[in-house]
Amino acid sequence: MDQTAEVMSRQRLDLYITKAAKTAGYEEGFGVAGCDLSLNRWWAAYNRQSTREQSENDRLGEYLLTNAKLSKQNGGIVPMEYVIYDAESSEDLNRTGMIWLRKELIAGRRIAGVVIPFQGRLSADPLHQLAFERECAYYGIRVVYGDAPGGDDWASQTTRLIQAQANALRVKCNRDNALAGNIARVLAGKAPAHRAGYGYIYRTEKIIEARTGRTKVLRAWWEIDEPGTDGEPVWRSPAWVVKQIFVWLGDEGRTAYWVAHKLNELEIEPPQRTTWDPKTVIKIAGRQCYTGKAEYNTNGRVPNPERPLGDLTLGIKRTLVRPKPDGEKVTFEVPGLITKEQWLRSNKNLRERGRGRGKQGKRIQALFRNRMLCPKCGKPMSVLRKKGSDQVYYYCRAHYCPWLRNPCNYIRFIPGTWDDEIWEEVCAMLSNDAWLEQQLAEELSQSADLEKLLRMEQFKISQAKLRVSKVQEGWEKGFYTQEEVQIKLTEHREAIARVESEIGRLRDQMANRNLSAVEAELLRQELMELRDRNLRESIFEERADLVAKLGIKILPSEDLKSRKIFCRLNLAKVNEEREQAGFAKATFGGAEGTRTPDLLRAREALSQLSHSPIYQKYYNNSWAWSQFI
C-alpha cells in the first residue's frame, strides 16, 4: 500500500512482512506478491502505532507476526498490497490506511476478511469499533482479533465492548499520568518533559540509580539556542529569529506576512515546516515563554459547536484553543529573550492589523480586507473576485455559514471601487502637516508620561521592600516586638500590593493606547516619506501598511448610500481649524447631494488629493466621514 511510504519505507515494511510470514510458517499465505486483486477472496491485515516516533521501533514486527498467525488459523490469504499500516492516534478512524480499508476494500467488497493483531490497534473508542464491525457485517466481511473473540454472538460482542472500554480507560490513564508527572516536575523546579519552544533547547541532567538501574532526572531546564560570547544570540540562530520577530512586529509595526516573507528571503529554516508562513510567526509571537515566564497546561483544544458534526467515526475536530482554569496551569522560569512590553506591543499590533493581513498582495488586492465591516452584523467582510473578470467585491461571509447560531442576513455586495474612493479621502485628511506633527507629538508626550509614572511606581516598590528589610533588621536587634513587626509588615505589604496594582493598570494602559511612542515616530517618518512622493502615487503595499497603522475601519450603511470611516488618530482639532478656514464643509440635499463653494475651494487647496465630496463628523479619539454615492 502506498500510504505506508509516508511513515515507513516500503523496503523496511516488506522485510517485516517476509520475516513474519516465515516465522509463522505461512509464507504461501501472508504477504503474497502477484495476486489478482480483481478477485474478492483475499484478506487484509491492519496494523497501527500511535505516533511516527513509535514507527521507528520494532514493535511492528510482532503485530505482523500475529497477523500471519491469525491468517493461517482462518485460512485467509493476504496479498502484499493489502498489508495496511498507520502511524496515527487511536482517537478516531480518520487515518489514511483505515479510510482506504473502509472505503475501497470493505465498501467495495474487494476482500473476504480482515485480521487485526490487537483490539486496541483498531480504536480506543467503543463507538468507532461498533461502527467498523457493523460495516463489516453489512458487507459480509469477517473481522478477526488476536486478543478478543471475533464471533457475532451476544457474548463475543459484549466481551469486545468491555475490552474497548478498558482500552479507552488505558489511554485516559496514560494521558492523565503524563500530565500529572509534568506538573509535578514543574513544582519540583524542573522543566516539563516536552519539546522546548522555538529558540530554546531542552536540557536534562540524569543519573542511573545503582539499585534499580533506572534513569533519574536530577535537573531539567531550557537553554537559549546558540547564545554568543557576548550573551546575545548568534545571527540567524533560532533565538536570534525570535528576537527579530518581536522587533519587526512590535517596534517596526510589520505584518506577519512581511515577517514570514523576510525570513524566507534570509533562507532561515522554520520550526517543523519547509517555509515560513504568517501562522507560524503568529504562533511564536503568542508564546509568553520568551518573556522569561513559561507556562504549562495553560490552554486546551475544544470542538467548535458551530461547525457541522459530520461523520463521528472520523473524529470530532478540536479546532478552538481555549484557556484552562487558572488553578490548572503552572509556570517555570526560562531565560528571557524579550521584555513583557515588547510581547504586549507585538500582540497588540497583530490584533489591530489582523492575522496574515499582508496576504492580500498574493491573492486579491483589497486595501480594506478585514477592515470593511458588515452593516448588519458588524463583522469583517471577506473579498471575492467575479469569475472571468477583474471586478472585486466585499461580502459578509457570516451570511454563507448556515451552521452559525445567528447567521447574518445581509446579502448585498460592496464594490471594490470603494478602495480608491476611501483612499482619496484618507489622503485629504492626512494632508495637514501642522496638525499631523502636533498630533504625533502629543502621542509621544503621553507615552513618555506613562513611562515616567511607571518608573515612579517601580521606585515606590523598591522603597517599600527596603522598609520591609529594615523592619526585619530592627526585629532581629530587638527594637520591635512581634506585634509591632506584624503591623508594620502588613502596612508595607498592602502598600506594595497597591503599587503593583497601579503598575498593572499603567502597563495595560500602555498596551491598549492608540499609538505607542515607537509606532507614532515610525508613522510620522512613513507619512513624510509618502507625502514627498504624493500619497496618491504610493504602491499598494505602502497604502495597506499605512491603513493598518492608522487602524482604519469602514462601516457602510445598509443601503450603501453612505459610509463611516474610523481612525485611531483624533481629528477633532483639525476639524475646528479647517472649518474656521472654510475647509471641508459640505451640505447635502437629496440623494445625490450638493457641493458648496467652500468645498470646491478646499479641494483646490488640498493639491488635488481629494476628488469626492466629504461630510465629516468628529468624535472623541475617533473620526468618521460619510460619503454619499
Q: Where would I find the H helices in 188-320?
A: 238-246, 256-265, 278-285
How far apart CA 335 and CA 357 sit, in angstroms, is 31
pLDDT at 432: 63
Query: DSSP state, 251?
Result: I
For the stretch 581-586, contacts whose Cβ atoms lie closer than 8 Å and that sit 24 or more positions apart, written own/partner, are 584/428, 584/614, 584/616, 586/613, 586/614, 586/615, 586/616
pLDDT digits (tens, 9 = 90+) for 391-435: 888 988 777 776 666 778 888 889 888 988 888 887 777 766 665
Q: pLDDT (tens digit, 9 = 90+) per residue, 184-236?
A: 988 888 899 888 999 999 999 988 888 888 888 888 999 998 888 888 899 98
Q: CATH number of the domain at 2-170, please?
A: 3.40.50.1390
pLDDT, residue 573, reads: 45
Q: How confident is the model at residue 378 (pLDDT cuts 50, 70, 90)?
A: confident
Average pLDDT over the chain reads: 79
CB 134 within 8 A of CB 106: no
Is 313 a residue whose pLDDT tops 90?
Answer: no
Can you give the pLDDT at residue 443?
Answer: 59
- Residue 132 C-alpha cell reads as 467498523
3-state secondary structure of 383: strand
Res. 531: pLDDT tops 60: yes
CATH number for the domain whose boundaries are 200-358: 3.90.1750
DSSP 376: T
Write the burial class of residue 379 (CB in 10 Å: 0-12 exposed, 13-18 middle, 19+ buried). Answer: middle
Give me the pLDDT at residue 91, please: 84
C-alpha to C-alpha distance for 345 and 251, rounded to whole angstroms: 8
pLDDT(600) > 90: no
Q: Where are the domains of the chain?
A: 2-170, 200-358, 364-416, 541-626
Mean pLDDT of 459-483: 80
pLDDT of 553 strictly over 70: yes
Q: Tell whether the torsion through CA atoms of 214, 218, 221 and 223 is positive or negative.
A: negative
**Mean pLDDT in residue range 344-356:** 75
Q: Which of 50-59, 249-258, 577-586 has the lowest mean pLDDT?
A: 577-586
**pLDDT score of 577 more than 60:** no
DSSP string covering 504-568:
HHHHHHHHHSSS-HHHHHHHHHHHHHHHHT-GGG--HHHHHHHHHHHT-EEEE-TTSS-EEEE-S
Mean predicted confidence (pLDDT) in 574-590: 37
Query: Which residue, among 372, 379, 387, has the nearest Cα to 409 in the 3D structure?
Result: 379
Amino acid 611: pLDDT: 36
The confidence score (pLDDT) of residue 88 equals 87
- pLDDT for 587: 28
pLDDT per residue as tens digits for the range 609-621:
333 333 333 333 3
The tally of CA atoms less than 13 A away on the side-chain side of residue 310 is 13
Q: What CA–CA distance (Å, rounded) separates 222 from 197?
A: 9
| Ordered DSSP codes for 484-505 | HHHHHHHHHHHHHHHHHHHHHH
User: What is the Cα–Cα distance from 7 to 17, expressed in whole angstroms?
Assistant: 16
pLDDT at 330 exceeding the cut of 80: yes
Phi, psi (degrees; rounded to nearest 5) at 55: -70, -15
For the cut 60, the answer to whether the pLDDT of residue 112 exceeds it is yes
Which amino acid, one-letter code, is at 168?
Answer: A
- 263 — pLDDT class (breaks 50, 70, 90): very high
pLDDT at residue 172 tops 80: yes
Q: For the whole model, what pTM was predicted?
A: 0.57
CB 354 within 8 A of CB 365: no
With a pLDDT cut of 70, the percent of the chain lying above it is 80
Residue 599 pLDDT greater than 60, yes or no: no
How far apart CA 609 and CA 12 sit, in angstroms, is 70
